[in-house]
Structure 1
């Protein structure tokens, strides 16, 4: 009986020794920097750095675009207000005395500025 127990003990010990050897080989492959998981982690780290830089550039571009859009919106609101004033002033024009339904003619002239003049 003792002999059988000793044989089983030696077999178990050999099994555990082989299992530990296999684990150590896998751990060495896992931790190598060039080809194992360490290499993959290094590559992913570089990609994260690149993505962080790209995100910073995108945020800067979005901030610049937002500022440009805000200034253009303000400019459009100013032009719309001026157009409303011009349209309101057209209602104040006197009717033609002859009773004919004459159409008004609008002329745009461009000076060096962005202003538009309305002529009759």
Structure 2
């Protein structure tokens, strides 16, 4: 009976050793920097760095565009105020009821030459 227990114990130890050997090989492949998860992590890290740089450039460009748009908006508001003043001053001009033939033709005045 002791002999059978020893044989089963040795068989179990050999099976556990073989199982550990297979797991060690898989773990080595799993952490390989070129093909495994290590490589994927390295690639993702590089992509994160690239995206961070691109995001910084995009933020700078958006800030410049925002400033430019703000300046253009202020200029447009100034022009709109001037136009409102011009339109308001047009209301102060007398209105002609109907143009006559004399007023429709341009009048040329000759200036004497010196």
TM-score by length of 2: 0.78
Q: In the alignment, which residue of structure 2 is the partner of 1:117?
A: none
Whole-Å separation in 2 of the counterparts to 1:8 and 1:74: 90
1:36 deviation in Å? Answer: 2.1
Question: What pairs up with 1:64-75 in 2 under 5 angstroms?
Answer: 64-75=64-75
The list of structure 1 runs, each at least 4 consecutive aligned residues, that deviate by more than 3 angstroms after superposition, is: none
Aligned residues between the structures: 100
- Unpaired stretches in structure 1, ≥5 consecutive residues: 103-120
- Unpaired stretches in structure 2, ≥5 consecutive residues: 101-114
Whole-Å separation in 1 of the counterparts to 2:43 and 2:99: 78
Show CA shifts across 1:23-72 (max 9, x none).
Answer: 11011112222222222211111111111111111001000000000000
Q: In the alignment, which residue of structure 2 is the partner of 1:17?
A: 17
Show CA shifts across 1:5-29 (max 9, x none).
Answer: 2232222212211111111101111
Change (3 A) 1:8 1:87: same
Show CA shifts across 1:59-118 (max 9, x none).
Answer: 01000000000000001111111111111111111122xx2179xxxxxxxxxxxxxxxx
Q: In the alignment, which residue of structure 2 is the partner of 1:51?
A: 51
Change (3 A) 1:2 1:101: farther
Change (3 A) 1:101 1:27: farther
TM-score by length of 1: 0.75
Question: What pairs up with 1:1-120 in 2 under 5 angstroms?
Answer: 1-96=1-96, 99-100=97-98
RMSD: 1.7
